[in-house]
Amino acid sequence: MAVETTDEPFTREYSVESFGTDYLFRVRIRLGFKVSQSIPAYLHQIMHDLEKTGELPNQQSIYPKLDADPGIGTIRYVVIHKALMPESKVSGRGALSLQIKYAIRRVAGSPVKWFGLAPYNPLVEVQPLFVSTRRPPRLTRVASQAPKREG
Looking at 10-150, list the stretches that DSSP marks H as alpha helix, in order from N- to C-terminal side.
39-53, 92-108, 111-114
C-alpha to C-alpha distance for 114 and 46, rounded to whole angstroms? 19
Q: Which position has the higher pLDDT, 3 or 84?
A: 3
Q: What pLDDT, on the 0 to 100 scale, is given for residue 81?
A: 82
Q: Is 117 left (phi over 0), alpha (psi -120 to 50) or beta?
A: alpha
pTM of the model: 0.70
Q: What pLDDT, on the 0 to 100 scale, is given for residue 82?
A: 80
Q: Check pLDDT > 80 for residue 39.
A: yes
Distances (CA, A) of 1 to 29, 53, 63, 129: 7, 19, 24, 19
Q: Which position has the higher pLDDT, 83 or 26?
A: 26
